[in-house]
Structure 1
């Protein structure tokens, strides 16, 4: 999958159930220019069940926990069989600009979010390129 600004993904070798994705932080966000890798694991029930998606490198964010799990409604109760890898990655990219503060996984990130200058310092401190 190529062509979308900021996202790409490819299956791992011959295993069509395991994918690697890449997201480049969006313009005018604290993540601008940062590259994040993700793993996408699809079950044999796909597209009727969402894949398990995790960051592979540290992403300090209100909706990402310390084990790199992502809290995103389309990966849970708002899943639709219409979603594909591209739409999943674009949704995560969009989420990085606008967190769901009502469903946080990282209390420290939520507490810092209101102060974007301090939040950005923490993001930069913890960021390790993919």
Structure 2
């Protein structure tokens, strides 16, 4: 009984998705993109914690943005877009996804979205409207969000 369970557990730990995520993790540790950090959470390769630092010379400068990423056994062949509670609408997570992308590419794309939001495809329609109509007000509101992250734990 125990051997059967161990064999099943070993098979589950070596799925293509898990192997790929381990490879992504190793690459991210060896050559992390500037302003990005990420690692599996509590020895669960399918659940990651990541941090993106606000890009310099943007309203996000100095901000610290924490993310949780959850992967399915379909990774890297499929991924899903993220909405709700910190909504992210990003082409590479939706209709532009390709298995050549890795975790670093996802995080880098999210960081790029901070610098260059797309108001034509918003996850947050109020922010998109403000970005289009009044960049000054948009930047002020961004700073209100960013400043508390400077002291967050």
Task: Tell me if both proteins adopt one fold, taking TM over 0.5 as the criterion.
Answer: yes
* Counterpart Cα distance in 2 of 1:89 and 1:30: 19
The equivalent residue for 1:124 is 143
Whichever of the two has the greater Rg, that structure is 2
Checking the alignment, whether the CA contact within 8 Å between 2:81 and 2:90 is kept in structure 1 is no
* Counterpart Cα distance in 1 of 2:120 and 2:129: 12
SS in 2 for 1:96: helix
| Higher fraction of helix | 2
Tell me which of the two structures has the higher relative contact order, counting C-alpha pairs closer than 8 angstroms and 6 or more residues apart: 1
Checking the alignment, whether the CA contact within 8 Å between 1:41 and 1:52 is kept in structure 2 is no
Structure 2 residue corresponding to 1:6, chosen from 14, 35, 38: 35
Q: TM-score, normalised by structure 2?
A: 0.70
Checking the alignment, whether the CA contact within 8 Å between 1:7 and 1:89 is kept in structure 2 is yes
The equivalent residue for 2:120 is 102
**Unmatched segments (≥5 aa) in structure 1:** 54-64
Deviation >6 Å, runs of 4+: none
- Shift in alpha-carbon separation, 1:99–1:52, aligned structure 2, 3 A: closer
- Shift in alpha-carbon separation, 1:52–1:76, aligned structure 2, 3 A: closer
Query: How many Å apart are 1:123 and its aligned residue?
Result: 1.4
Q: TM-score, normalised by structure 1?
A: 0.82
Query: How many Å apart are 1:77 and its aligned residue?
Result: 1.1
Q: Count residues in correspondence.
A: 119
Q: CA RMSD in A?
A: 1.8
1:32-73 Cα deviation digits (max 9, x unpaired)? 1101011110001111112565xxxxxxxxxxx662121001
Query: How many Å apart are 1:76 and its aligned residue?
Result: 1.0
* Counterpart Cα distance in 2 of 1:26 and 1:42: 26
**Unmatched segments (≥5 aa) in structure 2:** 1-27
Q: How does 1:1-130 map to 2 (within 5 A)?
A: 1-2=28-29, 3-50=32-79, 67-114=85-132, 115-127=134-146, 128-129=148-149, 130=152
